[in-house]
Chain A
Amino acid sequence: MIPEIGHFALILALALALVQAVFPLAGSFTGSRTWMDMARPLAWGQFTFTLLAFAALTQAFLTDDFSVVYVATNSNSLMPQIYKVSAVWGAHEGSLLLWAMLLAAWGAAVAAFSRNLPLAVIARVLSVQGMIAIGFLLFMLLTSNPFARIFPVPAEGRDLNPLLQDFGLAIHPPMLYMGYVGFSVAFAFAIAALIGGRLDAAWARWSRPWTTVAWIFLTIGIALGSWWAYYELGWGGWWFWDPVENASLMPWLVGTALIHSLAVTEKRGAFKSWTVLLAISAFSLSLLGTFLVRSGVLTSVHAFATDPTRGTFILIFLCVVIGGSLALYAWRAPSVSTGGGFDLVSRESFLLANNLLLTLFAALVLFGTLAPLIYEAMAWGKISVGFPWFNKMFLAVMPFLALFMGIGHMARWKRDEPARLARQLWVAFALSLAVTALAFLPGISVGHATVPLGLGLAAWLILSHLTGLYDRLRHKRGLRGALADLVGNSRSYYGMLLAHLGVAVLIVGITMVSHFGIEKDVRMSPGSSQEVAGFRFQFEGAKSVNGPNYRAWRGRFLVYKGERQIATLEPEKRSYLTGGMPMTEAAILPGLTRDLYVSLGEPVDNKGDWALRLYYKPYVRWIWLGAIFMGLGGLLALSDRRYRTQRTRAADAVAAAAAGTARA
């Protein structure tokens, strides 16, 4: 009964979305207040019904209703309760439902927290959101109904993929989806502005906080995915340039460009058309990501079995969204005034450079991700693009980004004197050159120029931003003035500072772990030990243990630094009762400057010998720490006084949506 209610709720949500897509938009042209006023209640209604559907599916999981195919294939009565909840979005149908539910949540948030916006704008924005919702709800109802029943009813479910029975998975997809779907708001604002023919500073100010919120979610979502892969897949990798990872990185890159370009549009009125194009691209890339994951066209770690009609549907939807919005852009954008001019040396120029580099890199990632499809379509053979290519592209583009980042924040709007900038920044520049030179010294360097490059750029970012901070505080009246500045007027400045320092931290992490990480695959007998990076791992053997829904081999390692024992690590090799699939559970000793990582391979013989992985991962935590800094920087910027009215509302909206997810 309850699954049918869920199914029915989805159909109702679709009906509401259809009305929402048509009437408020039409009303905004005919000037009919009644029609425009329908937008908000419709958005609320859509959220209510998708949430109801989501709750119905969750209920089916919690009560082990195996008459629902989706539950039967992705759950099991032995599974711990928390994973029964996260299993709701563990596979295709449920994750689509989560997508649709979060989309409706964002729509409801826009409806609730934009009371000070003109009615026509809200009507158009929500209509665009309605159109997107139609696509997703239709997709779900026509090709991937999560509520389909099965008869005869299986006595037991097939269990959730063991890799996904983990805390990381419980929160990674919702965060990522909040980011993906969040860009739909930026997209809707851009399309609404194009439809209305009004692209101005006000439009940028309205969509800026929403874009920042989406960007924060995406940043944290990607970092969580990387962290999850690191500890859960058992081979210690934190980024693999897998098509699906790329699919989340591309909207992030373009989204990052977008929040910077929005800043220019809001403050200076420039870059309007470019900003709109970025907003369209960020969301289109989010959709493309969904297509890549769900269609199975690319070989990926994340690929799922798919039915071809699904891929076709998303492809058509993608074409309609991208084609439609670009056509609208081509039609409307030329009439947009170009806005404020600026000199070659100005903050605008540096932000433009940063935008171009970010989009260039996103384009390269897109090319590398789709190259196998292009080759196949041209009958040039079946290829895969290895991660060395992506690394090369990263190294060719991103250092310039870091270089300009260090200057841009100091430059003045509209026009600046190169001499003034040089005077301000030469000390920071000289010191970072010194760091670079120092990193070339034998004993520090490993013969790769990338180590000095990475550390030098990190130093440059930190020092130039500290210079900027010093310069700013010098003009405030003493300590009190400085503190007032921090807590009061310019949180967005401190947000920027924190996020940019996050980039420096990230660079240090990537540089260190890529060049000084040690990975050893070894064979060990009980009682023997191995030395990795000055740490001694003593293997005590492995014994069999029982978990709630799995059996496992649990290894025991004593880790020594010198003569002192610093930790006991117990990695597991699990075998889930339902599928009998093995699954590696690594044991990690985390630390700010290094992780020690042990995972079990396979037993080699009957005498207790094992093939094992022993890893030393210096500064790997800094990668995620950097992402956390960026996210916190975004939050700080969001709390700036300029947005105070919007801020409380947006934050509430997010909290409400998050609470909704948690409750459901």
Chain B
Amino acid sequence: MKARKKRLLFVVLGIAGVGAAAAMALSALRSNIAYFFSPSQVMAKEAPADHVFRLGGLVESGTLQRQPDGLTLTFLVTDNAEKVKVSYTGILPDLFSEGRGVVTKGKLGPDGVFYAEEVLAKHDEEYMPPEVAATLKPHADAAAALEAAQTPVGAAQVTAQ
């Protein structure tokens, strides 16, 4: 009888523990996930204005500009249909470059500029972040842009601190 009670206690404790952990994991998840949006979705005001999200697409060629402070950069991210201006202060990852795929994480400012706190650029010869590949609009330039994104490399990631 005693052994049985003990086992019951273990089982109850176990279930309670797992339940508590699951509750904690899910509630914490809600405030820590970042949804992905394409430039078209941002322009259509589908993206949240007050919450961190991820914006991805191709870095439009010829739009990378360094601001006078020397550390802030701006560039346009496009899905070949719409464009969103992105501002980032810090050092870009090695593999970031114009014409390639990029995923940025940050908040949309009231001025319509996306203020990125994290820029993620990574490619091996054929790799495109799956979200980006899925949102690219079929467009005459798309094939060319994809082509441009296919250069042999690995990956890097940068977090602005």
Asked if B127 and A304 make an inter-chain contact with CB atoms under 8 angstroms apart, the answer reads yes
User: In the complex, what residues of B have CB within 8 A of residue A162's CB?
Assistant: 153-154
Contact A240 B157 (CB under 8 A): yes
Which of chain B's residues have a CB closer than 8 A to the CB of A581? Answer: 94-95, 151-153
Residues of B within 8 A of A522 (CB): 71
A383 touches B35 (CB 8 A): yes
Residues from 122 to 155 in B contacting A, C-beta threshold 8 Å: 122, 124-127, 129-131, 151-155
Chain A, range 587-643, C-beta contacts under 8 Å to B: 601-602, 604-605, 609, 611-613
Once the chains are docked, how many angstroms separate the CA of A316 from the CA of B36?
29
Residues of the A chain whose Cβ atoms lie less than 8 Å from the Cβ of B36: 381-384
B158 in contact (CB, < 8 A): yes
B14 nearest in chain A by CB position: A356
B1 lies within 8 A of chain A by Cβ: no
The answer to whether B154 and A161 touch across the interface, beta carbons within 8 angstroms, is yes
Interface string of A208-236 (1 = CB under 8 A from B): 00000000000000000000000001110
Q: Which of A235, A297, A609 contacts B130 (CB 8 A)?
A: A297
**A163 contacts B69, C-beta separation under 8 Å:** no
Closest chain A CB from B22 CB (angstroms) = 9
- Bin the interface of chain B by size: 35 or more
Tell me, in angstroms, the Cα distance from A602 to B90 when the chains sit together.
Answer: 10
Q: Would B155 and A384 count as touching, CB distance under 8 A?
A: no
Given A237-B159, A382-B35, is A299 in contact with B131 using a C-beta cutoff of 8 Å?
yes
Q: Chain A: which residue is nearest B156 at the CB level? A: A233
B74 at the interface (CB under 8 A from A): no
Given A383-B34, A611-B71, A360:B17 Cβ within 8 A = yes
* Interchain nearest-CB distance for A650 vs B (Å): 34
- A146-154, A387-395, A454-462, A492-500: which one contacts chain B? A387-395
Q: Using Cβ atoms and an 8 Å threshold, which residues of chain B touch A375?
A: 33
- 1/0 per residue B55-84: CB within 8 Å of A? 000000000001001110000000000000
Interface residue B44 (Cβ < 8 Å from any Cβ of A): no
**Within 8 Å CB of B127, what residues of A?**
296, 303-305
In the bound complex, residues from chain A placing their C-beta under 8 Å from that of B54 are 384
A367 within 8 A of B: yes
A301, B34: Cβ atoms closer than 8 Å: no
B8 contact set on A, CB distance < 8 A: none
B49 interfacial contact with A, CB 8 Å: no
A541 vs chain B, min Cβ distance (A): 16
CB of B28 within 8 A of CB of A393, answer yes
The reply to whether B156 and A389 form a contact with Cβ atoms under 8 Å apart is: no
* Chain B residues in 8 Å Cβ range of A393: 24-25, 28
Q: Report A157-181 CB contacts with B as 1/0, cut-off 8 Å.
A: 0110111100000000000000000
User: Considering residues A234, A371, A581, which has the most beta carbons from chain B within 10 angstroms of its beta carbon?
Assistant: A581
Does A583 belong to the interface (CB within 8 Å)?
yes
A92 to chain B, nearest CB (A): 10
Q: List chain A residues, Cβ under 8 A from B3.
A: 341
B71 touches A164 (CB 8 A): no
Complex: how many Å from CA A604 to CA B69?
10
- The answer, yes or no, to whether A386 is at the interface (CB within 8 Å) is yes
Chain B residues lying within 8 Å of A260, measured Cβ to Cβ, are: none
Across the interface, which residues of A come within 8 angstroms of B12, CB to CB?
none
Q: Which of A159, A363, A611 has the most CB of B within 10 A?
A: A611
Residue of A nearest to B89 (CB): A521
Establish whether residues B158 and A235, one from each chain, have CB atoms under 8 Å apart when the complex forms.
yes
CB distance from A598 to the nearest CB of B (A): 12
Chain A nearest Cβ from B68, distance in angstroms? 10
Residue numbers in A under 8 Å from B24 (CB-CB): 393, 396
B152 and A303 contacting across the interface, CB-CB below 8 Å: no
Return the contact of B126 from the options A305, A382, A396, A613 (Cβ within 8 A): A305
Question: Per a CB cutoff under 8 Å, which of A341, A363, A381, A385 touches B29?
Answer: A385
Q: Is the CB of B161 within 8 A of A161?
A: no
Does B116 sit within 8 A of A, measured CB to CB?
A: no
A515 — which chain B residues lie within 8 A by C-beta? none
* A383-B33, A397-B21 known; A161-B157 Cβ under 8 A: no
- Once the chains are docked, how many angstroms separate the CA of A8 from the CA of B18? 50
State whether the Cβ of A112 lies closer than 8 Å to any Cβ in chain B: no
Report if A579 contacts B (CB, 8 A): yes
Say yes or no: is A523 at the interface (Cβ < 8 Å to chain B): yes
Q: B34, B71, B159: which contacts A523 (Cβ < 8 A)? A: B71
With most chain B CB atoms within 10 A of its CB, the pick from A384, A397, A522 is A384
Which positions 383-413 of chain A face chain B at CB distance < 8 Å? 383-386, 388-389, 392-393, 396-397
B86: interface (CB < 8 Å):
no
A582 touches B (CB below 8 Å): yes
Give every chain B residue within 8 A of A397 (Cβ-Cβ).
Answer: 21
Is there an interface contact between A389 and B29, defined as CB atoms closer than 8 Å? yes
The answer to the question of A364 belonging to the interface, with a C-beta cut-off of 8 Å to chain B, is yes
A302–B155 touching, CB < 8 Å = yes
Q: How far does the alpha carbon of A375 sit from the alpha carbon of B131 in the complex, in Å?
A: 13
Q: How many angstroms from the CA of A393 to the CA of B29 in the assembled complex?
A: 10
Known: A305-B126, A521-B160. A360 touches B18 (CB 8 A): yes
CA separation between A240 and B70, bound complex, in Å? Answer: 27
B103 interface hit (Cβ, 8 Å) = yes
Closest approach, in angstroms, between the C-beta of A601 and any C-beta of chain B?
4
A-B contact pairs, 8 of them (CB 8 A): A163-B153, A303-B129, A305-B124, A382-B35, A386-B32, A386-B33, A521-B71, A579-B152
- A242-B157, A523-B70, A579-B152 known, 10 other contacts, Cβ within 8 Å: A159-B152, A163-B153, A163-B154, A235-B157, A296-B130, A393-B28, A396-B24, A521-B160, A605-B70, A611-B70
Which residues of B approach A to under 8 Å, CB–CB? 3, 6, 9-10, 14, 17-18, 21, 24-25, 28-29, 32-36, 52, 54, 66, 69-71, 89-95, 103, 105, 120, 122, 124-127, 129-131, 151-161
